[in-house]
Structures are given as C-alpha cells and as structure tokens.
Amino acid sequence: RRAAFAAARDLPPVTKDDTRIELMVNAGLRDDVSALDVTGADGIGLFRTEFQFLVSATMPQRERQQRLYKDVLDAAGDRPVIFRTVDIGGDKALPYMRHDEDTEENPAMGWRALRLALDRDGLMKAQARALLEAAAGRTLYVMFPLISEPWEFDAARALIEKQREWLIRQRKAVPVVVRYGAMLEVPALAEVLDLLLPRLDFLSIGTNDLTQFLFAADRAHPKLAERYDWLSIAILRFLSRIVTACEAHKVPVGVCGEMGGRTLEAMALLGLGIRRLSITPASIGPVKAMIRSVELAPLRAEMTRLLSDGTANARDALRDWAEKRRI
Ligand code: PEP
Ligand code: MG
C-alpha cells in the first residue's frame, strides 16, 4: 500500500464525481517543508509557528523568525502556506517567558494563544513584522488560534495591518496581499460566526481543541482518548452547522485538526461539505486514495440521513457505506 500511495503522489485529489479537494499538510519546523514534495500536497494548511519558540532556549528574535518564514515560503514556491500566529502559554509554557500567574489549574482554557499574544503585544508585533517582511512580494496567509469572540480577530488583524502600514511608510516591501483567517476551536465562536464570517478570508476548524471543549474532555488524557468518538453525532452536527454558515457567506472552510487525517473521519468531513483538509503528511496517501474512490453526491445524502436519524452509530454506518462501495 505504501508503494501505491507513493505512486499516487502526482495524482490530484479529485473525487469520482470530479470535485477537487484541497489536500494540505500541517507543519511547524523548517525540515517539515520537505513533506510538500514527498507527498505532492497543495500547500501547508497549518504552520504552527510556536514550534520555533518551543525548541529554542531563548526567545527567537524577529530576524530569526523572519528567516524561518522566508525559508518555508521559498521552499513552498507557488504553494500557499498558512501561518498560524503563536499558540503558546498554557501547557506550552516557555521557560524563558515570565507569566503573570504562577500556575494555571486549566491550562488548555487558560492564558494562551491569541489571548496571551494580544496582551503581550510586543511578541505579536515582532511576529507580524517577521511574517510581513518574509512574505514581501507574495500573498501572506495568516490565521489566529483560539478565537473566542469576533473582537479578538479584529484586534489581531488590526495589529498586523498597523505593522503593514508602518512598513509601507518606511518604504519597505510588503506582501502583495494579506489573507486573514480565524481558527474555530472554541464552541462559543460558532454561535456568533455570522458576525465574524463577513470579515474573514477563510476559516480553519481546529478539531483537536474544538472536540476537547465540546466534550469537556482533556485531549491529552489517556483515559479519555478512546471515550468520545470524532464521528459522534454531536460533533458531526456541530461541524455541519459551521459548514452551512460558511457556505452561506461564501467563506472557504477547512479542517486542520488530527480528525482530518483519518480516512473514515476525512470521508465524513467531505460528506459535510468540507473541501479543504490540512493533515499530517503521513496521512496524505491514504486520505487521497479515499478521495479518489468516493462519490460526493451519495456521500452527502448519507451524511444528511445520519445527522437527522441521530440515533445511528455513525462510525459503523459510514464504515458499512464505504465498504459496500470499496472505498
Ligand atoms: C487543533 O486544535 O485542532 C489544532 C489544529 O491546533 P493544535 O493541535 O496546534 O492545538
Ligand atoms: Mg488548537
């Protein structure tokens, strides 16, 4: 099978009824970029910029950040790279950064990601400058993690725009265009998505954090790892509403959590209307094989049936459905 996946490297991720799915990889370090060529992926759908901070002994200065982003963009060439601004704090605490609080009882729900970045705006400004200068002359895609309310997106976007305007005044080269996205990881954001969508260029659903918050179940707890299913009706219905809202506002929506890297889960996401997946590189082969053997119209009908008939075990039903069609 591995050889078959390698042979499919240059085949496009197109469904049997001719819908092109965007298949991207998640990355975080300079060396991860080679996965683009190895897998034939369309781009990097999630570049976790905090990795550089986590592997450094000292705070990476702007120049070092900029060098990494530029290297990644150069290696990606024409393929898009979506940079996620730092998701540090909480359990990803940096030894060299002082926190205001000594301990947090619930770090995943704590002072992390954009919450921390908006408070420590020196950090965010340096990252904005590094991203803008690294992407000079190209399109810069940037997205913000753990947005809980629309104003957080507005504040983060304004911070980057201010740096962009400053660079222009300094007669420095800037990106041709900046595309701004939000990550949907906090359930509350789904309830006000209609307010945020008109301001977004794209939305990316982070199913790792989203499901941990939906089920109130720590994503890293070994006793809970198997308890709740990504193919539960609760998650599928929740995601379905998000996709419907994005379709209504014509905002591209993708999934960048681990869920999208499992073939049956990825198939369910296609059935909900998701057309962009960003997954771990090792999953590209199996997920592409699934995409190329599936027909979307009957899949969508099956998902609709499963969601309204909420008592069914969606995992078993989808597995049967796929096996019958040799997917
Ligand atoms: C997620 O939460 O699904 C996600 C993609 O971000 P991370 O795994 O880095 O928290
Ligand atoms: Mg997350």
* C-alpha span between 279 and 139 (Å, rounded): 22
What is the CB < 6 Å shell around ligand 1? 46, 48, 87, 185, 206-209, 256-257
Q: How confident is the model at residue 97 (pLDDT cuts 50, 70, 90)?
A: confident
- Measured by CA distance, the residue closest to atom 4 of ligand 1 is 206
Distance 239 CA to ligand 1 centre (A): 16
Q: Which residue CA neighbors atom 1 of ligand 1 most closely?
A: 206
Specify the pTM. Answer: 0.97
Above 90 in pLDDT, residue 126? yes
CA dist 290 and 270 (Å) reads: 10
Cβ atoms of 241 and 231 closer than 8 Å: no
Q: What spacing in Å lies between the alpha carbon of 176 and ligand 2's midpoint?
A: 28
What residue's CA is closest to ligand 1, atom 6?
206
Average pLDDT over residues 179-206: 98
Q: 38: part of which helix (H) or strand (E)?
A: helix 34-39
Substitution site in 209, 219, 269 for ligand 1 pocket (most atoms within 8 Å of beta carbon) = 209
Measured distance CA(168)–CA(172) in Å, rounded: 6
Does position 103 have pLDDT exceeding 80, yes or no? Answer: no
Span 130-151, average pLDDT: 98
Ligand 2 midpoint to CA 168 (Å): 32
Q: How far is CA 200 from CA 109, 143, 239, 252, in A?
A: 24, 10, 18, 9
pLDDT at 101 over 70: no
pLDDT of residue 5: 78
Confidence of residue 4 (pLDDT cuts 50, 70, 90): confident
Average pLDDT over residues 130-145: 98
Which residue lies with its CA nearest to atom 8 of ligand 1?
A: 208
Provide the pLDDT for residue 3: 81
Quote the pLDDT of residue 78.
Answer: 96
Ligand index nearest the alpha carbon of residue 46: 1
Taking residues 71-79, report their average pLDDT.
97
User: How would residue 63 be classed by pLDDT, with cut points 50, 70 and 90?
Assistant: very high
Helix then strand count (H, E) for the chain reads 15, 8
- In the structure, ligand 2 is a single-atom ion and the residues with CB under 5 Å from it are 185, 206, 209
pLDDT at position 100:
58
List C-alpha distances in Å: 159 to 71, 127, 321: 24, 11, 48
